Homo-oligomer: A and B are copies of this chain.
Amino acid sequence: MISGDAIDSPIPVSVGVIGATEYTGIQLVRLLLNHPQLQIGYLGDRDHLDKQLGDLYPFLEIDLDLPLAPIDADAIAEHCQIVFLTLPDGEAQTLVPTLRERQLKVIDLSADYRFSSLERYQSYYEGDRSDYDLLSQVVYGLPELYRSAISRSSLVGCAGSYPTASLLAIAPLIKQGLVQPESLIIDAKCGTSVGGNQPKPHLLYVEAADSIAPYSVTRHRHTPEIEQICSDLAGHDIVVQFIPHRVPVVRGLLSTVYANMRDPGLVREDLLTIYSAFYRNSPWIRVLSNGLCPQTRWAMGSNLCYLGIEVDPRTGRVVVMAAIDNLMKGAVGQAVQCCNIMMGWDERLGLPSKSLYP
């Protein structure tokens, strides 16, 4: 039986979802419909204007009488207090300045507001930007590391899927100075939903099934994002090795992180103690204490991140494995978690913890 905690909030907060027909937008709308404190007040999209999302995707069980509307800042501001942006990289930056002028809280799921340094952003992303001043206000949307700043922020750039799993695995190591930062290697594997819902040849079932495929080796855009946060945690610049691989699952992302320990005398129990303490107040983190390795299936459909930790005394390395659902903790689940924190609510509100198994 679920606990009957009464929620004393008769007045729900109105939110907008801009980019509502992307995979992330759809998933977000479904989460919001189950949120006890939030109410959808605006669905913005470039296509399908005036149509109902529930008519476009009748199988989604979206019971909402709200037509898709243009991406217009004034109209959004009129209907919402908080806006979630699930647009392709490069589009949020043209909209957010106006939304912020109208005092809306903004939670962006693209790469546009993940970087405090324009230089770092431009080393991997193209295009000029005129919203420099906003970058100083940006908070990186990874609650386990920036909970306090998120709670005070009005503009959050949600962490990418690969960075989320990777940084949750790495953070205690760097924060406690346990490893040699230059030894950090992240070997990541992800399902095909990481590629979005645009039909591209390599994302066809016929191409993606039955294969294991590394891609963007040494050049992936999530690299500077991971490095920015690692550097911030360490207090000095850190360069990491990050390599993603595509595997035939729909949802699921595993980061396997390798690092040389500074103190080769540390054993797994030590690390477990450190990780458990580090994430003591993080309800979405599960540190596996019994030698289990996390599987991505365990997180499928939930906002959880499972962490498995091994120490190899032969090599002096620590190996940390982080498993998440790339669409949930790696995208919209995290966005809702950030929203909960910005509003001063329990960060578990409206988010699923039970995965689908089997």
Give me the interface of A with B, judged by CB distance under 8 Å.
1-2, 4, 7, 12, 23, 26-27, 30, 32-39, 57-61, 182, 185, 187, 189, 191-193, 195, 197, 199-201, 203-215, 217-218, 239-241, 243, 245, 247-254, 256, 258, 288, 290, 292-298, 300-302, 304, 306, 308, 310-312, 314-315, 317, 319, 321, 323, 327, 353-358
Docked Cα-Cα span, A335 to B4, in Å, equals: 24
Q: How far is the CB of A109 from chain B (nearest CB, A)?
A: 16
B250 pairs with A358, CB closer than 8 A:
yes
Of the candidates A30, A195, A288, A298, the one having the most CB atoms from chain B within 10 angstroms of its own CB is A298
Contacts of A199 in B (CB 8 A): 199-201, 203-204
Contacts of A213 in B (CB 8 A): 293, 295-297
Contacts of A209 in B (CB 8 A): 205, 209, 248-250
Q: How far is the CB of A305 from chain B (nearest CB, A)?
A: 12
Q: How far is the CB of A139 from chain B (nearest CB, A)?
A: 26
A1 pairs with B249, CB closer than 8 A:
no
Docked Cα-Cα span, A192 to B254, in Å, equals: 17
Contacts of A203 in B (CB 8 A): 199, 204-206
Residue of B whose beta carbon sits closest to that of A315: B241
Q: How many chain copies?
A: 4
B245 pairs with A256, CB closer than 8 A:
yes
Partner of A317 from the list B26, B241, B353 (CB cut-off 8 Å) is: B241
Docked Cα-Cα span, A249 to B250, in Å, equals: 12
B293 pairs with A214, CB closer than 8 A:
yes
Residue of B whose beta carbon sits closest to that of A7: B4
Contacts of A304 in B (CB 8 A): 61
Contacts of A327 in B (CB 8 A): 358
Q: A61-B302, A203-B199, A205-B208 are in contact. Are A218 and B249 (CB under 8 A)?
A: no
List 20 A–B pairs whose Cβ atoms lie within 8 Å, in order of A's numbering. A1-B12, A1-B32, A1-B39, A4-B7, A34-B354, A59-B298, A61-B304, A185-B185, A189-B189, A199-B204, A205-B248, A206-B250, A212-B253, A214-B293, A241-B258, A241-B315, A243-B256, A245-B256, A258-B258, A300-B356
Residue of B whose beta carbon sits closest to that of A247: B247
B358 pairs with A251, CB closer than 8 A:
yes
Docked Cα-Cα span, A27 to B251, in Å, equals: 20
A357 pairs with B60, CB closer than 8 A:
yes
Docked Cα-Cα span, A185 to B192, in Å, equals: 26
